[in-house]
């Protein structure tokens, strides 16, 4: 007997396999369920739509593996792991990055990475009294920045290694624009 997690994984693998060949917005639930070997109502017992399945994939494949690193304060290692997992399924994430508007990969990734960054911030003992440096605002700034870099990396055809992208993100986060432009 297969459990919920097994069926979720079958649906995710089917979705990723199909998305490597055709645009996500054109994929039907029937195609996903046929590829997973389940009937269509089964999909709706697990997910509302393919965008909720995409969110599940982002959380399962990208965020869950990195969460323990975030929670223990390993910032760079978290980012590198996320990037490596994106690169591992690069055809899928290339297609996913093309989704625009509501339910876009960019929106889903930013929401998920924001949660991870808040875990990283919560692992820190220091707390800022400055309202503009509150954890929610700080997490949002870093989530937007990392999302921008990840989307640019994917859209560039994955130019630069995962380590280079992560190091660039760390560098940008720790230097002013004037410092960076002076270093160029």
Domain locations in the chain as residue ranges: 1-47, 58-183
pLDDT at 50 over 90: yes
Confidence of residue 71 (pLDDT cuts 50, 70, 90): confident
Q: Are 70 and 116 in contact (CB under 8 A)?
A: yes
Superfamily of domain 1-47: Homeodomain-like (1.10.10.60)
Superfamily of domain 58-183: Tetracycline Repressor, domain 2 (1.10.357.10)
Q: Are 172 and 145 in contact (CB under 8 A)?
A: yes
- Output the pTM of the full model: 0.89
Neighbours of 1 (CB within 10 A): 3
Q: Are 110 and 167 in contact (CB under 8 A)?
A: no
Q: Kindly report, residue by residue over 80-116, the tens digit of the pLDDT.
A: 999 999 999 999 999 999 999 888 999 999 999 999 8
Q: Are 13 and 44 in contact (CB under 8 A)?
A: no
Q: Kindly report, residue by residue over 106-155, the tens digit of the pLDDT.
A: 999 999 999 988 888 887 766 666 777 788 888 899 999 999 999 999 99
Q: Are 71 and 121 in contact (CB under 8 A)?
A: no
Matching residue, tokens 């808040």: 118
For residue 115, the model assigns a pLDDT of 92
């Amino acid at each position: 007997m297969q459990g919920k997690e097994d069926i979720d994984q079958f649906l995710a693998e089917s979705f990723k396999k199909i998305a490597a060949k055709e645009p996500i917005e054109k994929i039907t639930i029937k195609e996903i369920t046929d590829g997973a070997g389940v009937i269509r109502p089964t999909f709706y017992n697990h997910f509302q739509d393919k965008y909720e399945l995409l969110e599940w994939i982002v959380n399962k494949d990208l965020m869950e593996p990195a969460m323990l690193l975030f929670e223990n304060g390993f910032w760079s290692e978290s980012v590198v792991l996320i990037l490596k997992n994106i690169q591992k399924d690069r055809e899928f994430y290339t297609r996913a990055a093309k989704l625009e508007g509501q339910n876009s990969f960019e929106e889903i990734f930013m929401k998920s990475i924001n949660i991870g960054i808040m875990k990283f911030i919560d692992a820190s003992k220091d707390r800022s009294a400055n309202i503009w440096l509150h954890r929610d605002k700080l997490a949002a700034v870093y989530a937007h920045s990392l999302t921008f870099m990840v989307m640019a990396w994917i859209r560039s055809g994955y130019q630069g290694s995962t380590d280079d992208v992560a190091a660039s993100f760390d560098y940008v986060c720790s230097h002013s624009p004037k410092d960076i432009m002076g270093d160029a």
